[in-house]
Structure 1
Amino acid sequence: MNLDFERIMPSLPFILEGIPMTLQVVAAAALLGFVLGTILSLLKISRIKPLNWLADFYTSIFRGTPLVLQLMLIYFGSPQVFGVQIEAYTAAFLSFGLNSAAYISEIIRGGILAVDKGQQEAALALGVPYRSMMTNIILPQALKNILPALMNEFISLTKESAVVTVIGLSDIMRRSYIVGGETYKFFEPILFAGLIYYVMVMILTLIGKAIERRMRRSD
């Protein structure tokens, strides 16, 4: 194997400058995905059938099509649909957030259904409003149960964020391609980008385990 990292060494800071952009996309998408996913999960367990169908249809669309396709439809389709070109960053976090919401909704729904039904019945018998019951009793317990699955989804989101390079967003992957084009050495900068993603994923994994341990101690 003939690796020549010396040639790309001056460009490593340029690749590292893509980390903030990657983190911004992931953070915004994670927030959108969690909020929308929570709403979808509540619609899925609702007794109103049309709401169930709507949430299930949304989930089937975003889980049944490639993420890169969704990204390209939002970015390249915006001028035709809305008459305005959506910025690359906006298209990135929207597509990732909408996609993540479909998966998170299933995770949260499973967590809610795993909570003992007796607690819900007791709360309703005591006259606790449905919204208060879900917010103060059911959802906090569900979140404790699904924390590992949520962290896995956020880790997947971090890794999948590399596809934003197809719309020209200046993230880690895009910058590694630029360095490869300038130095005619593509393997080394892409390998370095892979190392960055690996470190980011390991940090997220450690954070997730720390939060999980803390929540267990608080039980």
Structure 2
Amino acid sequence: MSSNEFVPYDLIVLLSGISVSLKVFLVSSLFGGLLGLGLALFRHYRFPLLSQLSVFVSEFLKNSPVLVQLFLIYFGLPIFLSMDMSAELAATITLTGNTAAFVSVIIVTAMAAVDKGQIEAARSFGISEMVILKKIITPQALLVAIAPLVGLAVNQLQVTSLVSVIGVMDITKVGAILNQRTWQPFIVWPVIGLTYFAMSMAISKLGRKLELYLRKHQTWSLA
């Protein structure tokens, strides 16, 4: 069999690459979302020092190349901490921070979009800030934030392709290896591209369903 022919094992390798890409994406999205929420709350409630720090961190990560962040974490953090770090862990940490930066901006913007009159009215009745956040701000801000958050998720999925640069065996790295072995770029790269497309469309479809569900079941009260 010629080395430039595809073999059944290539499918297994491709599926392995997809699983790595999804793992990095899902883990970084989860922790990035939680970290982004924390940064957003610091900014919204203007906690001393923490608010300014969250703005700086968000703006730096949002406005610097992801590839530079990836190199900084992969090559710099192990030296700074005197520890070994796998490429996959470095990729996950990098995308977690990058995701958090964008999530924080989206959430802050969504919270600011909530009618201030409702919030002031609740405060005038002595309602606590925690109850206002839970009962008034969150339900309405979530509807504003859901569409840009879904768009961010699609973008971050595609950004995971950069992790192949540091050796993570994601779908892009697998594609590069298959292309190098088979020299059939017009087969390999369309397949890789269509795989990303399919995953992105799945995220978008789930996002639309979630948005419709939230709009249909939107209820909020101070009871």
Q: CA deviation at 1:187?
A: 4.1
Cross-structure match for 1:44? 43
Matches within 5 A, 1:24-173: 24-173=23-172
Counterpart of 2:22? 23
Size of the alignment, in residue pairs? 214
Normalised to the residue count of structure 1, the TM-score between the two structures is 0.91
> Residue 183 of structure 2 aligns to which amino acid in structure 1?
Y
Give the 3-state SS of the residue equivalent to 1:17 in structure 2: helix
Within 2, Cα distance between the matches of 1:178 and 1:160?
A: 19
Give the alignment partner of residue 7 of structure 1, picking from 5, 21, 27: 5
User: 8 Å contact 1:29–1:100 — kept in the other structure?
Assistant: yes
- Mapped partners of 1:12, 1:208: distance in 2: 29
- Is residue 208 of structure 1 aligned with residue 207 of structure 2? yes
Return the offset for 1:47.
3.6
- CA–CA distance in structure 1, aligned partners of residues 51 and 201 of structure 2: 37
Distance change in 2, residues 1:212/1:182 (3 Å): same
Query: CA deviation digits over 1:115-151, x for unaligned, max 9?
Result: 1112221222232322332133212220111100000
SS in 2 for 1:86: coil
What is the Cα-based RMSD across aligned positions, in Å? 1.7
Structure 1 gaps of 5+ residues are 1-5
Alignment partners' CA distance in 1, 2:115 and 2:7: 56
Q: Distance in 2 between matches of 1:125 and 1:31?
A: 36
Structure 2 Cα separation of the partners of residues 73 and 67 of structure 1: 10
TM normalised by structure 2 equals: 0.89
Moved over 4 A (4+): none
CA distance in 1 between counterparts of 2:114 and 2:213 reads 20
**Aligned residue type for 1:170:** M
Q: Which secondary structure state, in structure 2, belongs to the residue aligned with residue 7 of structure 1?
A: coil
**Which deviates further from its counterpart, 119-128 or 82-91?**
119-128
